[in-house]
Every structure is written in C-alpha cells, then in structure tokens.
Amino acid sequence: MKTYLVTGGAGFIGSNFIHYMLNKYNDVRIINVDKLTYAGNLENLSSIKENKNYQFIHADICDKRCMDKIFKENNIDYLVNFAAESHVDRSIQNPEIFIETNVKGTVNLLNIAKENWETGENTYKENHKFLQVSTDEVYGSLDDTGYFTENTPLCPHSPYSASKAGADMIVKAYFDTFKLPINITRCSNNYGPYQFPEKLIPLIINNILKHRQIPVYGDGMNIRDWLYVEDHCKAIDSVIKNGKLGEVYNVGGHNERTNIDIVRTIINYIKENVDDTVNENLIKYVADRKGHDRRYGIDPQKIQSELAWHPETPFEVGIIKTIKWYLDNKNWMENVTSGKYQEYYNKMYGDKTCTRSQ
C-alpha cells in the first residue's frame, strides 16, 4: 500500500487525478489536503468520500505545523503538489496570493518532505518522491514555429507563470543541493470535467447555455495546446513511478488550436445537438489580456521515449465528452457559479458580455 499526499485535490486536475488513481489501483491510499479556496470544491469528490482508501484534510500548504503533523502521522510515500492559484487573469488583478501559495507554499512542502524523509545527510528513504505539477507557461510564449522542450529557458510573463517558474527553480534547487527526490511535470492546457468556469472551455459552455456572449480576448488567434485531463493524470502517475530523479518532463499531445477555433467548435456542437437557436453572434471580441502569451506548443518527445506515455484521447472525442459532462452536470455548474463567481465575472467582463435578449 503506497500513501499519496495530494495537495489541491479538490480542484480541477487534482480531483481528476484522485478519481483516476482510486479507479486504477486498489493498493493506494490518498490523503487530499486542500484549503478550499474559491477553486476547491468537495462536490468533485462526493462519489469517493466514503472510500476507505481516501481521506480529506482541510488545510493550507503554507501551514508548517499542520503539514508537518500530516507527515508525522502518516507514512507518506509520494507528495503530488497540485495546490496553486492557477488563473492568469486573477494573477494580473492580485499577484500576492500567487507568491504566497505557489512559491512559499511549495517551499514549505519541500522543507517538510526533506525533514521527514531524510535519513542522513543527502540520503532519503527508498522510493519517496516529491512531484511538482508545473505548467508549460513557465517557458513564456512561442512564435509561429518551434516547441517547448525541457531545455527551453524559463521566460514567464504573467505573475501566475512567474510564481510557477519560481517554484520550479526552488524544487530543482532542493534536488541539486539536498538530493531531495523530485520530478517536475510541465503540462499544456487541460480540459475536461470539474474545471472552474473562469477558464476558457467551461466559461464558453456556461455562457452558451445561459445565452450570454462569449468574451474572446484580442483577435482570438492566440494558440493553446489542449490535452484531455485524464491523459495528464496518466502522465503524472507514470512520472511518479518511473521518472528519473531530478528530471523535468513536458506533457502535451500536439493539439494546438486557436481560441476562436475552440469557441466555434463548441458553439457548433451545441447548435447541432442541443439548442439550434445558438449561433456565432454570441462571440464578442473584448480587450486583450495584459501580456497575453501568443502561442504554447509542447514537444513531448522526452516523456514519450523515456516513459512510453502517449495521449489517448483525441481532441475531437475529448471535447464532446467534456461538453456532455457539463450538460449532464448542470447542478454542478449552478453551484460553482452562484455566490462570488458572479462578482468576479462582473468585475472581469463588466457589461461587455451581457445576456442576449431571448
């Protein structure tokens, strides 16, 4: 039985990871530590809350005493650090909390893992690992050609990506200095169930269903490299088990799309299958994001050749699964968009994305 300490497991990717692991293995125990910020939602995990191999602890990764207690009371084999402030637009409005959680929280976890796993100077118990879940955004932005490899220099542009890059460098420093057993994964944009509708794909779906206009930043031609969230979970599982200590692994599946293409794909699916009154008049071009990265594109060659990981869900399949999930879980969407979401939405988009007259 291996014990995983998963931080941020009530968020989008963390909750998908917990479901994936508990479905796949009978011999894993998962302790999920989450602060339950606006992005953390225990409803994502309601179907497994009675599972004897799962435990939730409401805590902040910055809390030294609490995180140390969790380590001391449990025989933690692997720490998978998803916990983060994750939204670029919020980092432009309020950068400090990104430094608190993403940088200082990660340093706190590194110290506690080091203290609890160390058996002597620079030696550790067998088979422990600290997996830092990072992002392709740390590399900055690409022009029309080329891809991010693990050797691409870090060049983050937003406070969010700068905080993730800072955390990555400290994680690597704990390997170089203390030999703490670490890996870093840098994945491209994820999509799938349980994603908070501040992010592009669930925001589009929610707005279409409410007949609200869809805010497209700038000219809509920025490119993201989309990966179905379960493929990311599989990659993390594989890096924990077989990743070479101290190494970074990029995760992505060569699925680059412009934002406007994503918007049109979703509008067309809903128009053809759900509501034929929906059309492209919902698209509203709005002011661009400050410092908006133009293009992301992952070179996944290293994880493919060293760990035999390949994405299994083509975009055409994954996007339909995703749209259907949100259509089948309208209560989930209602719950997460009640309360403070509306306040956030109005502050972000004002009346630029008003409801279409019926």
Among the listed residues 199, 212, 232, 302, the single contact to ligand DAU using CB under 6 A: 199
187 binds ligand NAD (CB under 6 A): yes
All residues at 6 or more sequence positions from 286 whose CB lies less than 8 Å from its CB, including other chains: 215, 216, 217, 349, 352, 353
Spatial distance between the Cα atoms of 182 and 245, rounded to a whole number of angstroms: 6
Q: Is 160 a catalytic residue?
A: yes
User: 3-state class of 20 per DSSP?
Assistant: helix
Angle CA 278–256–300, to nearest 5: 145
Question: Which one is catalytic: 34, 60, 85, 137?
Answer: 137
What is the distance of C-alpha 332 from the center of its chain?
Answer: 19
86 binds ligand NAD (CB under 6 A): yes
Q: Report the nearest approach of ligand NAD to the CB of residue 349 (Å).
A: 19
189 binds ligand NAD (CB under 6 A): yes
- Give yes or no for a contact between 139 and 161, defined as CB atoms under 8 angstroms apart: no
Decide which of ligand NAD, ligand DAU, none touches 193; Cβ closer than 5 to 8 Å per partner kind.
none
Q: Is 54 a catalytic residue?
A: no
Spatial distance between the Cα atoms of 42 and 32, rounded to a whole number of angstroms: 10
Q: Is 293 a catalytic residue?
A: no
Question: Which one is catalytic: 34, 60, 136, 230?
Answer: 136
Name the closest residue to ligand NAD (Cβ): 11
Decide which of ligand DAU, ligand NAD, none touches 307; Cβ closer than 5 to 8 Å per partner kind.
none
Kindly tell me which of 116 and 337 has the beta carbon lying closer to ligand DAU: 337
Decide which of ligand DAU, ligand NAD, none touches 206; Cβ closer than 5 to 8 Å per partner kind.
none
Spatial distance between the Cα atoms of 85 and 88, rounded to a whole number of angstroms: 9
Kindly tell me which of 181 and 318 has the beta carbon lying closer to ligand DAU: 318
Helix axes 229-242, 12-24, angle to 10 degrees: 60
206 binds ligand DAU (CB under 6 A): no
86 binds ligand DAU (CB under 6 A): yes
168 binds ligand DAU (CB under 6 A): no
What is the distance of C-alpha 268 from the center of its chain?
Answer: 26
In the chain, what are the helix, strand and coil shares in percent, each to the nearest 5? 45, 20, 35
Residues designated as active site: 136-137, 160
| Interaction site with ligand DAU (CB under 6 A) | 86-88, 135-137, 188-189, 199-200, 203, 215-217, 222, 224, 259, 289, 296
